[in-house]
């Protein structure tokens, strides 16, 4: 079945990858292991560029290296949102009467981009089956539109232990992304692209 994959990059990272040594994740290998009968023709990865932090100045470099690895997958596209930082005044958790000024950083665009492409591609007849990697209930409505109004199959590969009930109500099927399949779906430590050889970040080894 002609299949398009839509990956909520930050949802996948924070729910299944962060805190592990398996960040060098080959998304195509992961999807092929979980969907052995699917004919995967497009893989869209939705994310945003991270910024350097005082305690982790190498974060953007590692992300760039990972993007480079992902681009070795011929049918994969990286679609970027962005981070917006703005000052906010919030109470302290241990003293609600004390208000402090903080810099709040929010990721914008990824969910909207994923939802828009999911519905648009389905409307244009570009796939027979869509797979969304997420556990974010914000995507329930576009998934419902594709399944109920466009009459197309929509599956979830869930990066969390439990599937969100709002998603469960609108999908065709779901499969969990277990730690073992993530471990078995890593890129080789050394890869080659048109620029040359590059390696898995040292911090991820």
pLDDT at 6 over 90: yes
Give the pLDDT score at 92.
Answer: 77
Q: What pLDDT digit, counting tens, does each position of 126-169 carry? A: 999 999 999 999 999 999 999 999 999 999 999 999 999 999 99
Q: Do the Cβ atoms of 166 and 137 come closer than 8 Å?
A: yes
- Provide the 8-state DSSP code for 10: H
Instruction: Identify the residue with better confidence: 85 or 5.
Output: 5
Residue 53's pLDDT band, with cuts at 50, 70 and 90, is: confident
Q: Which residues contact 67 (CB under 8 A, 6 or more apart)?
A: 78
Q: What pLDDT digit, counting tens, does each position of 109-124 carry? A: 689 999 999 999 999 9
Residue in the structure block whose two tokens are 């065709």: 172
Give the pLDDT score at 51.
Answer: 87
Residue 89's pLDDT band, with cuts at 50, 70 and 90, is: confident
Q: What pLDDT digit, counting tens, does each position of 147-158 carry? A: 999 999 999 999
The residues spanned by each domain of the chain are 2-82+109-204
DSSP string, 106-175: EEESHHHHHHHHHHHHHHTT--SEEEEE---GGGHHHHHIIIIIS--EEEEEE-SSS--HHHHTT-SEEE
Which of 24-28, 93-97, 174-178 has the least mean pLDDT? 93-97
Q: Which residues contact 55 (CB under 8 A, 6 or more apart)?
A: none
Which fold is adopted by the domain 2-82+109-204? Answer: Rossmann fold (3.40.50)
Q: Is 87 exposed, middle or buried (0-12, 13-18, 19+ CB in 10 A)?
A: exposed
Give the pLDDT score at 114.
Answer: 98
Give the pLDDT score at 110.
Answer: 87
Give the pLDDT score at 82.
Answer: 67
């Amino acid at each position: 079945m002609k299949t398009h994959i839509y990956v909520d990059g930050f949802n996948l990272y924070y729910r299944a990858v962060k805190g592990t040594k398996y960040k060098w994740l080959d998304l195509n290998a992961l999807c092929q292991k979980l969907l052995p009968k699917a004919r995967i023709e497009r893989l869209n990865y939705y994310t945003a560029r991270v910024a350097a932090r005082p305690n982790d100045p190498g974060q953007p470099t590692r992300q760039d290296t990972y993007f480079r690895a992902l681009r070795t997958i011929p049918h994969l596209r990286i679609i970027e949102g962005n981070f917006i930082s703005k000052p906010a005044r919030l109470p302290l958790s241990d003293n609600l009467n004390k208000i402090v000024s903080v810099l709040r950083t929010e990721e914008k665009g990824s969910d909207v981009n994923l939802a828009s492409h999911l519905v648009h591609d389905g409307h244009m007849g570009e796939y027979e089956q869509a797979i969304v990697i997420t556990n974010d209930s914000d995507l329930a409505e576009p998934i419902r539109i594709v399944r109920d109004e466009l009459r197309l199959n929509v599956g979830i590969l869930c990066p969390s232990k439990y599937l969100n009930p709002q998603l469960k109500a609108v999908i065709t099927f779901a499969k969990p992304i277990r730690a073992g399949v993530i471990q078995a779906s890593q890129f080789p430590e050394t890869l080659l692209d048109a620029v040359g050889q590059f390696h898995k970040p040292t911090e991820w080894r």
